[in-house]
Amino acid sequence: MRVTLVIGSLGAGGAERVISIMANWWATHGHHVTLVTLDAPGQEFFRLDARIARVGLGLMKDSGGTWEALQNNAARIRALGAVIAASQSDAVISFTDTVNVLTLLATARLGVPVIVSERVDPRRHGIGTAWSKLRQWTYARASAVVVQSEGVADWMRRTMRLDRCEVIPNPVPPLDEQCDSVVGPPSGLARTEHDGRVAMAMGRLVEQKGFDLLLQAFSRVAAGNPAWRLVIVGDGPARSPLCALAAELGVSDRVSFAGRVHNPQAWLHIADLFVLSSRYEGFPNALLEAMACGVACVSFDCQSGPADIIRPEINGLLVPPEDISALANALDRLMKSDAERSRLASRAQDVLERFGVDRVMGAWDELIATSARRAGTGRPVALT
């Protein structure tokens, strides 16, 4: 099989994590993979298999106005079309809303099946009026639209009148593949059993991830749980405001902002508890990986993803979305009970089976084969 994958960049985000896993999996199974980004090559945060044909267009730049934006996007469409045509792929898979639109426009006359994937909940994540109208128009021409939860799929089918909207969750890689660096205690954060307990959260420091809500919840239970501290892994534009909020709440001495890390599994191994405080998601990789590492987890029941991953009171806790009091109560409950954390952690690793990479990639293989048959390309697609 020859497959081309398209995404804006290969930074430290969740979509980038998933597309890297997919590219590596197909490459290791003998398929020819071309991975195209709008930005320049050399910006990869996650490890890529050496057999992947990596193409960076170097066209990821801000526009100074409407006319310049039109010119920049026209250049991206032309470049994408040329690269995809040269790849002679059996299928093209594009990730993230605006890149999906550009990819569909670029491949309009190529006759190749194009599958596009939304990576965050479009009910909450706006992309502007013009892009929304373009998405409505172009998605109808996609071979399939992939989302990660039934709730999003139902919304897409109703509002965009899509008859080929498929649900494929994010994969969780095996434990020995989750860490791209040496697995071990992170430098500066290694601890002994006498150093206290760690509640951990991970994600880009932006409003969507709700770390401001987490800080408020933690501040309500910190005094009653003096052995605990909160570690937030990730970076982003909200770092300074979040540091200021921690100081305002009087918990800055109990909260650590670890920044961006290349070895999330190593950090999760020192966590006694993991918290997902997002206002909305697509299908949270951080929660999946925490559970795969056998960490007790609590999450807001936000749109979308957590309810598809956590089985309440069985392998984790769900609390009402953006309910700071409910999150504080759940944190307090787990901080005070080793037995409760152990009970939830003992079932958390069921995600390795439910969302294992082989199972998820099998769903992608099947969708590609179906799309190729519908397109009538005449070229057989070899599945693993």
Q: What is the pLDDT of residues 309-320, one digit of tens each?
A: 999 999 999 999
Nearest Cα to 173, choosing from 53, 333, 375, 17? 17
Report the run of H or E that residue 258 belongs to, with start and end. strand 255-259
- What residue type is assigned to position 329 of the chain? N
The reported pLDDT for the residue numbered 171 is 95
Indicate the fold that domain 2-171+356-375 takes in CATH.
Rossmann fold (3.40.50)
- CB-based contacts of 292: which residues, under 8 Å, 6+ apart? 172, 175, 178, 348, 349, 351, 352
Q: What is the pLDDT of residues 109-130, one digit of tens each?
A: 999 999 999 999 999 888 999 9
Query: Which CATH number is correct for 175-354, 3.40.50.261, 3.40.50.2000, 3.40.50.150, 3.90.79.10?
Result: 3.40.50.2000
pTM of the model: 0.89
Answer yes or no: is pLDDT of 65 > 50.
yes
Q: Where are the domains of the chain?
A: 2-171+356-375, 175-354
Q: Report the C-alpha gap between 223 and 203 in whole angstroms.
A: 25
Alpha helices in the chain (DSSP H): 14-28, 66-87, 97-106, 129-139, 150-160, 211-221, 239-248, 264-268, 285-292, 306-309, 324-335, 338-348, 351-354, 357-375
Alpha helices in 49-175 (DSSP H): 66-87, 97-106, 129-139, 150-160
Answer yes or no: is pLDDT of 350 > 90.
yes
Query: For helices 357-375 and 14-28, what crossing angle results, to 10°?
Result: 80
* β-strand pairing of 197-202 with 144-147: unpaired
Whole-number Cα distances in Å, 91 to 9, 56, 68, 106: 20, 19, 31, 14
Q: What is the pLDDT of residues 223-278, one digit of tens each?
A: 999 999 999 999 999 999 999 999 999 999 999 999 988 888 889 989 999 999 99
Answer yes or no: is pLDDT of 132 > 70.
yes
How would you list the strands of the sheet with 297-300, edge to edge?
255-259, 228-233, 197-202, 273-276, 297-300, 317-319
R_g of the chain, CA atoms, integer Å: 21
Q: Report the C-alpha gap between 320 and 302 in whole angstroms.
A: 7
At residue 103, the 3 state secondary structure works out as helix
Report the run of H or E that residue 199 belongs to, with start and end. strand 197-202
Q: Report the C-alpha gap between 116 and 142 in whole angstroms.
A: 7
Q: What is the pLDDT of residues 83-113, one digit of tens each?
A: 999 999 999 999 999 999 999 999 999 999 9
